Amino acid sequence: MLTRPMPAVEELHLLYESDSEKRSRLKAKTAVTIAMIGWLLIAFNLNAIIFSSFPLKLATPEWQLNLIAALITASPSLLIGATLVALALVFDHSAQILKDWNLTVARAASWFAVVLVLLIPLQFYLGSRVLKNRTVSSTEAINKLKTIVKGISAVNSEADLRAYVASLPNAPALPAKFDAAFPVIKQRAIDNIKAQINAGSENTALQKSESLQVFLKEAIRNTSLAILMAAAFSALAALHSRSSNAIARFFQSLGPMGSSRWLR
């Protein structure tokens, strides 16, 4: 039995539907692939931040400052990953999982912008503590030398001088007989210790100045990067109306998205 040939219009319609389905499947596959690349990029950077923080020293300002620097440095890569996850929805509007991921990324971007802003004053506070801790040992050593000067100045005889020196921790060995009179020996000791105090004070001041310059350089770089990244994550959060906070809205108001002329 012969079948009636398919009209040309119906055949073209089926071909069009077939091509449309292929394009839809390709878009859906592309969307999932882009989103997965974004998640993997985010996971890679979070993994690097976590393992760079070992060994954990939560109570030390140095460790906290290094963690802040790691978060700020990784923020551009985290932004790229989050943007890829959000961009996947452009290729497939109907996938519910992509919509959920888009909302998750937008909310995370909104709160990460807040974290970046809070890290700016925190790093200056921790930096001041680190700088102070680096000079504590030098300051303590100088104060001990000053105490020794006062002790030597108070003695009035060679026997008292030997007894005082012997009472000091890690006391230096004194010769059995001095090569000069007691007043001369006493003044030499005072002058030598004062010279050590002056040298220690100069070294401490130089060390403090160099450390401050290095810290300010890093802090200013981190501050500018944190502000830029906070603005970028706020823009990403603006893609979803349910993922906003005061910090994100502030940065959004500064950009073209916050201008009424942009919406016209």
10-residue averages of pLDDT along the chain (264 residues): 50 55 82 94 94 87 93 95 93 87 92 94 94 86 92 90 87 84 90 93 91 93 94 86 66 59 37
Look at residues 116, 127, 107, 95 and name the one whose alpha carbon lies nearest to residue 31: 95
For residue 5, say if its preceding peptide bond is cis, omega within 30 degrees of 0. Answer: no
Tokens coding 200? 């220690």
Axis crossing angle, helix 182-237 with helix 158-167, rounded to the nearest 10 = 30
Tokens coding 23? 């394009």
pLDDT at 248: 67
DSSP 36-101: HHHHHHHHHHHHHHHHHTPSP-TT-HHHHHHHHHHHHHHHHHHHHHHHHHHHHHHH-SS-HHHHHH
pLDDT at 17: 53
pLDDT at 261: 40
Residue reference for tokens 């931040």: 49
